[in-house]
Amino acid sequence: MPDERKSDAAPIIEGLPKGRYIRGAIVASVALGLGYLATFIGADGSNPDSLFGKQAPANTLYMTVLVAFLVNWIAFIPANYLQTEKFFDLTGSITYVSCTIFSLVLGAAPVFDGDGWTFSKRSIIQSAFTIVWAVRLGTFLFARIKKDSKDKRFDEIKINPPRFFAVWTIQGTWVTLTALSVFVVNSYGKSYDEKDLGVTDYVGYAIWLVGFAIEVVSDKQKGWFAANPANKGKWIDEGLWFYSRHPNYFGEITLWLGQFIAASATFTNAQWGCAISPVFVYCLLMFLSGVPMLESRGLEKWGDDPQYLLYLKNTSVLVILPKGKATNVETPLVLSGDDKV
């Protein structure tokens, strides 16, 4: 069975309300509103003045978020014309990379104060982390869609332009909320440049590295398991998957927590609202798009298998823990699509 790992924004489409124009417009409007609200928090409550006015860092942040939506809206045009979802996951990764580079360069540009280009160390480090993560995941997901040729979740969505447009808009919001801490650090790079890297930064970097390693290893182990014909029709319970039913999601949540912690070394006032980033990733994967969807599919396939039920009882749903330390013994969540062959 093919690998069913999806991008983090894409699964939201399964919960979109049905309808043609009005509901699609409402969903898109809410997504835009959330993006603006998150940016207002990250800008410490500052609204942009002129393009290069006294609120230049805030302007950079607002323009970065605008880029996040523009990239997805532009990609929507050919996708809607061709009625294809093949570019969706790849566009998500391109959005991360584009916005990260845009905010990094514009935040360090001499046009704001004439002092010359000034890149802060933390901006460069956190941008590099984001780009590495986005490129790896983007190529991973694009290879999957090329192999599988389609994503069945889009079958009803892509033939309805308003709902399809809403999905691309949601992806812009997803990028904004997830990488908000990084965009803030980049946008305010000059003012942060005088603050040396400290314990908080290094703790955040260490957490990111651990999370990234867990995500990469989990995906590799799942790929190796799926490639073995002897494992056809089985759930994966080897490697990190022996200790967690969704170690790849645990890795992703962990790495974004690390980004927030590292960035928090420079936060003031409302910027602490950037804590929405790791909280958003956790809530989305645990309660909306990731774990619930995959667990229910697993129950449908292996719910009558005593060995599978034992695996559920003894294996943590998310955090990598020793056997028997599962946090959901009484109400087991079930493995599925993302975690099976």
CA distance 122 to 203: 13
Which of 289, 167, 236 has the alpha carbon at shortest distance from 3?
236
Alpha-carbon distance of 8 to 280, in angstroms, equals 11
Instruction: Assess whether pLDDT exceeds 60 at residue 59.
Output: yes
- Which residues sit opposite 318 in a β-bridge? none
Q: Which of 263, 265, 266 is nearest to 276 (CA)?
A: 263
Residue type at 316 in one-letter notation: S
Beta bridge partners of 192: none
Tokens of 6: 């999806």
Q: Amino acid identity of 9? A: A
Q: Is 308 helix (H, G, I), strand (E, B) or coil?
A: helix
Q: Which H/E stretch holds residue 340?
A: none
Helix (H, G, I), strand (E, B) or coil at 17: coil
Is the distance from CB of 263 to CB of 204 less than 8 angstroms? yes
Question: Residue 208 has what pLDDT?
Answer: 98
Cα–Cα distance, 97 to 59 (Å, whole number) = 19
Percent of the chain residues past pLDDT 70, beyond the cut: 72
Handedness of CA 117, 118, 119, 123 (dihedral sign): negative
Helix/strand/coil (H/E/C) assignment for every residue in 53-114: CCCHHHHHHHHHHHHHHHHHHHHHHHHHHHCCCCCHHHHHHHHHHHHHHHHHHHHHCCCCCC
Q: Which of 17-21, 115-119, 279-283 has the lowest mean pLDDT?
A: 17-21
The residues, ordered by sequence, that sit 6+ positions from 21 with a Cβ below 8 Å of its Cβ are 162
Map tokens 């609120």 to a residue. 55
Tokens 């005593």, located at residue: 306
What does the alpha-carbon distance between residue 218 and residue 246 come to, in Å, rounded to a whole number?
9
The least confident of 206-210, 212-216, 333-337 is 333-337
Is the pLDDT at 7 greater than 60? The verdict is no
Looking at per-residue pLDDT, the higher value among 242 and 9 belongs to 242
Does position 121 have pLDDT exceeding 60, yes or no? yes
pLDDT given at position 157: 77
- Residue range 90-99, pLDDT digits in tens: 899 999 999 9
For residue 279, what pLDDT is reported? 92
Top pLDDT among 339 and 132 is at 132
Closest of 138, 157, 148 to residue 90, by C-alpha = 138
Structural contact between residues 205 and 55, judged by C-beta atoms closer than 8 angstroms: no
- pLDDT, tens digit (0-9, with 9 covering 90-100), for 306-320: 888 888 888 999 999
pLDDT band of 165, cuts 50, 70, 90: confident
Q: What percent of the chain has pLDDT over 90?
A: 32
Of 19-23, 99-103, 251-255, minimum mean pLDDT range: 19-23
Contact 174, 93 (CB under 8 A): no
C-beta of residue 288 within 8 angstroms of C-beta of residue 12: yes
Q: How far is CA 154 from the centre of its chain?
A: 19
Rounded to whole angstroms, how far apart are CA atoms 249 and 244?
10
Mean pLDDT of 146-158: 70
pLDDT for 153 beyond 90: no
pLDDT for residue 329: 38
The structure tokens listed for 131 are 């780009």
Amino acid letter for position 233: G
- What CA–CA distance (Å, rounded) separates 182 from 264? 10
Residue 295 has pLDDT above 70, yes or no: yes
Q: How does DSSP classify residue 274?
A: G
Give domain limits for the chain.
Answer: 1-191, 196-341
User: What span, in angstroms and rounded, lies between the C-alpha atoms of 107 and 59?
Assistant: 9
